[in-house]
Amino acid sequence: MPPLHLSLVTLGVGDLARAIAFYEALGLERKVKGATGAAFFMAGGVVLSLYPRHELAADAGVLDGRHGSFGGIALACNRASRAEVDTTLIRAVAAGGRALRPAQPTFWGGYSGYVADPDGYPWEIAHNPGFPLAADGRISLPE
Amino acid sequence: MPPLHLSLVTLGVGDLARAIAFYEALGLERKVKGATGAAFFMAGGVVLSLYPRHELAADAGVLDGRHGSFGGIALACNRASRAEVDTTLIRAVAAGGRALRPAQPTFWGGYSGYVADPDGYPWEIAHNPGFPLAADGRISLPE
């Protein structure tokens, strides 16, 4: 059996149509179009899915008592240049995201900023010269 | 510029060594071994990274007021069979995870259960016959 791998990341959302519009505005193409009540996108080597937050909590068997603050997980989109980081942040805010931290040089030798999606999930948009990107945007890690 | 894609998922953790031990027990191989204060694993086509939760919140420019309850995001590892789902759930609990929902047939024609990692982040371990897996475990989506 292969090691644990990350196949899907599901964001529990308050307004499915709003979340779909945000991610489509950032270029993600919806798949599994027959699915209703959920949305699925290929977001590189992993699926990004959107599902009503209360239904996601119920499916996982957890209590969903608290909304709207940091949930402990950050998502990241790595870009090939600092200019692409800036452009992506601007597009995300134009699409309904909320700027969290302006892009700036980082202590690890790269450049990044943060934007929250319409449900508040933080996305870091980063350029990291130490983590190579393939032509299709796929990331790899050095040893 | 390529569409938004998911390069890394960073889990903000309370105890970095404990989180590393959990994910290594599930077969993930640590990369970027020179990094201290953070851990990076290739988890299929995406990087799973571990970082102290308060530092992650500070990096993102968000307030981290609340720990220990559902943060709105679920991670998923899709498997090639129901038996692999069961085995993965058992291994995750043995490695220090907490069972959330036993594996059972799902309304979407598959089979899944949930386990929380040591910081409470929910992982769905699933077999979904409608979402094909490549030989290396990589997922794809139908139209």
Contact A25/B at CB under 8 A = no
Q: Which pTM was predicted?
A: 0.95
Judged by average pLDDT, the poorest of A46-50, A68-72, A101-105, B56-60 is: A68-72
Contact B47/A at CB under 8 A = yes
Contact B28/A at CB under 8 A = yes
Residue A68 pLDDT exceeds 80: no
Alpha-carbon gap, residue A79 to A111, rounded angstroms: 10
Whether residue B110 contacts residue B78, with contact meaning beta carbons closer than 8 Å, is answered with: no
Whether residue A112 contacts residue A123, with contact meaning beta carbons closer than 8 Å, is answered with: no
Cβ separation of B1 and A72 shorter than 8 Å?
A: no
Contact B90/A at CB under 8 A = no
- CA distances in angstroms from B137 to A6, B12, B67, listed in the order given: 9, 25, 32
Average pLDDT over residues A12-26: 97
Whether ipTM tops 0.90, in short, is yes
Mapped onto helix, strand or coil, the DSSP state of residue A115 is strand
Alpha-carbon gap, residue B30 to A32, rounded angstroms: 33
* pLDDT for res B66: 67
Residue A6 pLDDT exceeds 70: yes
For residue A42, list chain B residues with Cβ-Cβ distance below 8 A.
140-141
Q: Which chain A residue lies closest to B115 (C-alpha atoms)?
A: A60
Mapped onto helix, strand or coil, the DSSP state of residue A91 is helix
Q: Which of A70, A91, A115 to mutate to test the interface with B (most CBs of B within 10 A)?
A: A70
Name the H helices within A61-124. 82-94
What proportions of chain A, in percent to the nearest 5, are helix, strand and coil? 20, 35, 45
For residue A26, list chain B residues with Cβ-Cβ distance below 8 A.
3-4
- The beta-carbon neighbor of A137 closest among B2, B53, B61 is B2
Burial class from Cβ neighbours inside 10 Å (0-12, 13-18, 19+) for residue B94 reads: exposed
DSSP state of A131: S
The sheet carrying A73-78 orders its strands as A98-105, A111-116, A122-127, A73-78, B8-13, B47-52, B39-42, B30-31
Judged by average pLDDT, the poorest of A39-53, B36-50, B54-68 is: B54-68
Q: Which of A1, A4, A121 to mutate to test the interface with B (most CBs of B within 10 A)?
A: A4
DSSP state of A21: H
Percent of chain A at pLDDT > 90 equals 88
Q: How far apart are the CA of A111 and the nearest CA of chain B, in angstroms?
A: 12
Alpha-carbon gap, residue B71 to B122, rounded angstroms: 9
Taking only the tens place, the pLDDT of each residue in B101-135 is 999 999 999 999 999 999 999 999 999 999 999 98
DSSP, residue by residue, B62-126: ------SS--SEEEEEE-SSHHHHHHHHHHHHHTT-EEEEEEEE-TTS-EEEEEE-TT--EEEEE
Average pLDDT over residues B82-88: 98
For residue B124, list chain A residues with Cβ-Cβ distance below 8 A.
8, 10, 59-60
Contact B104/A at CB under 8 A = no
